Structures are given as structure tokens and as C-alpha cells.
Amino acid sequence: MGLAPQTGGSTVQGPGGEKLRLLPDKQAHAAAEAEANAKAKVRRTVGGADEGQQVDRLATGVTVDAGALTSSSKREKLSEREEREGIIRFEVVNNDGTPKSSILLTGLKNLFQRQLPNMPREYITRLTFDRNAQGLAITQRGYKVVGGIAYRPFPQRQFAEIVFFAISGVYQVNGYGGHLMNHFKMHIKNNWPTIKHFLTYADNYAIGYFKKQGFKREITIPRELWVGYIKDYEGGTLMQCPLIPKVDYLDSREVLRQQREAIITKIRQVSKSHVVHKGLEQFRNAPPGFKMDPKSIPGLRDTGWTPEMDEMLRRPGRGIYFMTMKRLLTELKKNEASWPFIAPVNTDEVTDYLDVIKYPMDLGTMETKLERDQYPDIEGFIADARLIFTNCKAYNHEASQYTRLAIRMEKFLDEILAKLPSYKQERG
């Protein structure tokens, strides 16, 4: 069977450069595809050079700027895309008596009761519908509430209390939580300009989330501004978050991108570490035992390398528990009850001390041993710490001030160790 010759149409360039004839009804589709391919090629072009060409040049041994290969394309989060497409909306709500507000507040109340089962239901209802409280809800398909915040503003005291915060379980992986918090921050900035901080009580499951959103356990607001104004929850952790006036929280990634570019620009003024040099040819046909002067390696000295750096790398590294032991020692020395144990006992003044105590120990000696890597494991370190307090109780009578201080320090040591996961795991 033959095919009738086609009339009309046009030709376009194929992937390999060959000419292809197109039917008239396919010309529009081909034109659109060609335009898309052209745009894609433009996107792959970085700094005036095609990314593929950069990689090819690097493979053949030509020095290139590796920093230029970094893509700066902005990826849109799922929650941002859904907001842009109208799938979700952010609704400001308060108890003003309107039907819409009543529907949204009821949705928030049901959400909080469902996601916060340990909170009394009546308490949630009362605070959600409190006329002094405000809310911000994420809604879908009309007025279906899938996330929200209930808060109380204290503009005269420059803070707002987040009373409840929850995202419906099935949507927690969609990034709704972070997006809601960013909307909330911008809402506060735009409507309550005197508010500079957030305060909230977080349970153990929520601390990690709030840390990601900029909250810290350190409270810098004067106590007289907030004590008695916010609800104190037993077992909760009070956390604070500052509002930064110059930050657009709904476009924070652009701020971070600009900061990153500024830092990289500064680094390139003093360093050439972003430049990738071709491989060394000297080793290709070198005889056995050939050694090369590091100073002759292109670009090595530009990175700030010195021969002393090699010597540092050859030194034996610290043990895996070194930093843990160093922090423990610092905590022990900072305790106000540690003053008798900082330095060795002066045996010139306490002449019979060595007759009673056969193995003297003190925090200063422990520090010296630690710096000399004489503690191969944490058990030996803890044994020396306990030896200090055991010696003190053995030499002094029970009612002595020194014995009381030793008991306090022993208890303090046990408290620190109880919070040390690696030590608990070993002891477990």
C-alpha cells in the first residue's frame, strides 16, 4: 500500500540536525515544542556557557569555575503551589458573631480537640471562642478547616501568645505547618506592628517543630511583661520566637538565596576554592616512589594550604568521647559547689592527707589528663570524678561543709549523666 504525497507543511530541525517535514496540523505543536526546548537550553546556560559544555571542558582537563554549575532555580513547595492554585486558603477569623466566623471557629475547635487529645475539650472550646482570641485557619473546598492557629495578641506588651496550633494528620507531610507559621508571622507583622515576639508552651512532641520555625527555649522578654498574662501548662516547655522586621517570611528562601550569594562573593574575593583544575599529569608515567612537591600543585597554595596543615592531619585524633568529657568537666567546674575540688589538696597545709587518701584526684588534674588524652573511654573519666567526692567524704566527717559539698556535686554529676544518651545507652 502506498501513501499519497503530502502537500503543504513545513520543515523543522530534528534532534540530530536533520530536516523533518511536518504536516500543517502538526506545525503548531512542533513550534511549541521547539520553543520549550529553546527555553530549556537557555535555563541550562550558566554564566554564558552551556552547562554540558562546562562538564565536557572539565572532563578534558580544562580549568573551570565549578561554582557556575550550581543551579539557582527556585523550587515551589507543595503547600505554596496548592495555595497558588486555590486548593487551600488562609482565613483570618475571630468571634465577631458572623455565620462564616462561627463555621471557621467550629472547624478550628474540632481540629484542636482531635489533634490535642490531652487537652480538656471544654478548655479548647472556651479559648477558641474567646472574643479576646484571634485565629488563622487553612481551609479547603470552602470552609473545611485542615490547619490553624489560635492566638491572643498583647500589643501593648509587644508579644502574642500562640494558644493552640495544629495541622490535620493527613496533611502534616504537605508542608502546611511551616507555611501556616509563615503566613501567621506576616499577618502579625502587617496587623500588629508593635508585636515583636511570640510565646508558646510546647509539649515534647512539638518542640522540634517550633525549633525549626525559629523558636528557642531562652526567654529574653522581661518576666513582668508576660507572667500572669499567658497560661502556664504543666509539663510544657515555654518557647519564644522573635519577629525580624526586614524578613518577608513568605519569601524567606529568596532572602536566604541573596545571603548565600553575598557570602559566596565574599569568599571568592579571598579564595579560589571554587576553581577546579585539571588532573596532575606527573604521576601518569612516574617511576615507583616518585614524590611531588606540594607547592607545585596548581591552585593548592591559593586555597591557603601550608605544610603545617599536613602535620596537623598526621596527629592522632581525639577520642570519640573527648568533647563529651570536656563538656562534663566544664559543667562540673561551673557548679557553685565545686570550689574545694578545683585544685589538688595542699599537703603542706593538710599534712596527714596522703596518709588517709592513697589516690588523690581533683578537677584540675582531670583537665590535664583529658588534654593529654589519658582517658581512652568515658568510664575512666567518670571514675576519677567520683573518686574526688569519695576522697572528700572519706577524709572529712559527715557534718563537715566539705562533705556536704561533695554530696551536692555527686548528685549534680548523676543528673548530668542521666541526660547523656550515650552514657545511658552503655549503662543500659
Report CA-CA distances (Å) from 331 to 219, 260, 337, 348, 360. Answer: 21, 36, 11, 29, 21
Phi, psi of 249 (to 5 degrees): -65, -20
Label residues 305-320 b or e (16+ Cβ within 10 Å = b).
Answer: eeeeeeeeeeeeeeee
Interhelix angle 378-395/322-334, rounded to 10 degrees, is 30
Around Cβ 226, how many Cβ atoms within 10 Å? 19
Residues 172, 169: Cα–Cα separation, whole Å: 5
As annotated, the active-site residues are 161
Buried b (16+ CB within 10 A) or exposed e, 147-172: bbbbbbbbeebbbbbbbbbbbbeebe
Angle at CA of residue 72, ends 305 and 261, nearest 5° = 50
Contact 152, 161 (CB under 8 A): yes
Q: At what angle do helices 378-395 and 401-418 cross, to 10 degrees?
A: 160
